[in-house]
Amino acid sequence: SPGSSILGYTLDNVTLTYEENPLIFYNSYTTTTGPVRTVSSKSFETPLKATANGHYHCDSTMEITFTDGVKLEVKDLRFQAFRRSESGDFSGDVSTCDALSQKQRHYTVYVIVALGVVAIIAIIVVVGVMAMKKRKRNSYQHME
pLDDT in tens, 43-69: 777 778 888 888 888 888 888 888 888
Per-residue pLDDT band for 126 (boundaries 50, 70, 90) equals very high
Question: Within its chain, how far is the Cα of 23 from the centroid?
Answer: 31
Residues 45 and 110 in one domain: no
Residues 86 and 131 in one domain: no
Residue-wise pLDDT tens digits, 90-120: 878 888 886 545 556 677 888 999 999 999 9
The angle at the Cα of 139, spanning 135 to 141, to the nearest 5 degrees, equals 145
Residues 16 and 48 in one domain: yes
Q: Which pLDDT value is given to residue 103?
A: 59
Q: Which pLDDT value is given to residue 114?
A: 95
Q: Structurally, how many domains does the chain consist of?
A: 2
Residue 70: domain span: 1-96
Among residues 58, 94, 61, which one has the least CA distance to residue 75? 61
Q: What is the pTM of this model?
A: 0.51
